[in-house]
Homo-oligomer: A and B are copies of this chain.
Amino acid sequence: MKQEKKERLKKAGWKVGTTKEFLQLTAEEAALIEIKLALARSLKKRRMAQKMTQNELAKELGSSQSRVAKMESADATVSLEALVRSLLALGASRQEIGRIIGKKPVEPVS
């Protein structure tokens, strides 16, 4: 069920339309992806606000630059856990993380 989708992804590449429709995501999966996107955006914003490079953050996390890049782009290979860990490492509180997750995304212009 997860595997199927990845296959489709690899073959299809990136086209337009909502992410949800194109990937045939269920509502739950769409919500999970939105959560990850919100966290990823926050992560990048926070890192930049602290004037850190991806490499510096990676070292703090005991990870590598490439993985930080993937986190910030909400790459499919990064887990929710990785995103939350990183935000915590950048000083975000539980409450802030809760807010990031709960905040409604900006509506795209129709």
The 8 Å CB contact of A79, one of B80, B93, B94, B97, is B80
Stoichiometry, as copies per complex, reads 2
User: A31–B88 contact, CB under 8 A?
Assistant: yes
Residue of B nearest to A95 (CB): B102
**A35 at the binding interface (Cβ < 8 Å):** yes
User: B32–A84 contact, CB under 8 A?
Assistant: yes
Given contacts A34-B94, A81-B80, A97-B35, contact A88 B1 (CB under 8 A): no
Query: What residues of chain B lie closer than 8 Å to A32, measured between beta carbons?
Result: 81, 84-85, 88
User: A84–B1 contact, CB under 8 A?
Assistant: no
A residues 13-35 in Cβ contact with B at 8 Å: 27-28, 31-32, 34-35
Chain A residues with CB under 8 Å of chain B are 1, 27-28, 31-32, 34-35, 62, 79-81, 84-85, 88-89, 93-104
